[in-house]
Structure 1
Amino acid sequence: MNNEISNFWSTAILEFFIALGVVIGGSTIGSLSTLLTGRPPLYTMEDLASRLKIWALVAALGGTFSTIKAIERGVLGGQLSIIIKQIILILFAYWGSHIGYLIILLLAKGEG
């Protein structure tokens, strides 16, 4: 049981950092396109970070179908713990993507 809890929290932390990395990495590397397009790089970073938030969430969760299937299994099986775990994993992935977005805004605008 203790190992199962440890695995759950390590998965939650992993999903947080995957989502964080997708937003930060995608928007910084994507902003290199400004070298070819002539668009303002900081605006492009902000725009990409905003657009990547939802995709970072999906990438961290490994696709939405596994999460939806687990929630369905919890609802139909009457196992509230499965539903709560999936919600926590979704929240960790969301927080990672949102914090990545905030970091990009901080870098692009230079505000603290």
Structure 2
Amino acid sequence: MDDFFTKAAFSFFIAFGVVLGGALLAGMGSVFLMMPPKVKMLQVAGNLKIWALVAAVGGTIDPIRVIESHMIEGYLSPALHQIGYILFAFLGAHLGTELVQWMCRNGG
């Protein structure tokens, strides 16, 4: 069970970091190009949300295959672990997006 929480935490922080880092770097790029960063940061954060989830759970369709193959065979534990990793990654991506929105709302 400890291994599950370790992997779930990594999924959360990877997805969070992809969204937050991408949005912040897009904001920096906007400043260099003399464009308002707020609009670009919000747009990038929204667009990166799904890709952050994909990156956090492995970047391939393998987690979905694990869920399918184990559910068909009747083994629920590995399938539930994969679903948990996906949920933690989604939570990280969502909180990263919310943080970017909060920064853009309160920063300017």
- Are the aligned partners of 2:26 and 2:37 in contact in 1 as well (CA < 8 Å)? no
Residue 8 of structure 1 corresponds to which residue in structure 2?
4
How far, CA to CA, are the matches of 1:64 and 1:109 in structure 2? 34
2:105 is aligned with 1:106: no
Q: Deviations over 1:76-101 (max 9, x none)?
A: 22111122111111100000000000
Could you tell me the TM-score, scaled by structure 2's length? Answer: 0.91
Alignment equivalent of 1:18, drawn from 5, 14, 19: 14
Partner AA of 2:98 in structure 1: L
- After superposing on structure 2, the runs of 4+ consecutive aligned residues of structure 1 that deviate more than 2 Å are 35-39
2:78 is aligned with 1:77: no
Report the 3-state secondary structure (helix = DSSP H, G, I; strand = E; otherwise coil) of the residue aligned with 1:64. coil
Q: CA RMSD in A?
A: 1.4
Deviation at residue 37 of structure 1 after TM alignment: 3.6
2:72 is aligned with 1:86: no
Q: Which moved more, 1:6-15 or 1:102-111?
A: 102-111
- Are the aligned partners of 2:15 and 2:93 in contact in 1 as well (CA < 8 Å)? yes
Deviation at residue 14 of structure 1 after TM alignment: 0.6
Alignment equivalent of 1:35, drawn from 26, 31, 34: 31
Q: Deviations over 1:55-89 (max 9, x none)?
A: 00000001231201211221222111122111111
Structure 1 unaligned runs (5+)?
A: none
Q: Deviations over 1:7-51 (max 9, x none)?
A: 111000010000000000011012222134433101111111010
Could you tell me the TM-score, scaled by structure 1's length? Answer: 0.88
Aligned pairs, number: 107
Residue 92 of structure 2 corresponds to which residue in structure 1?
96
Identity %: 39
2:63 is aligned with 1:67: yes
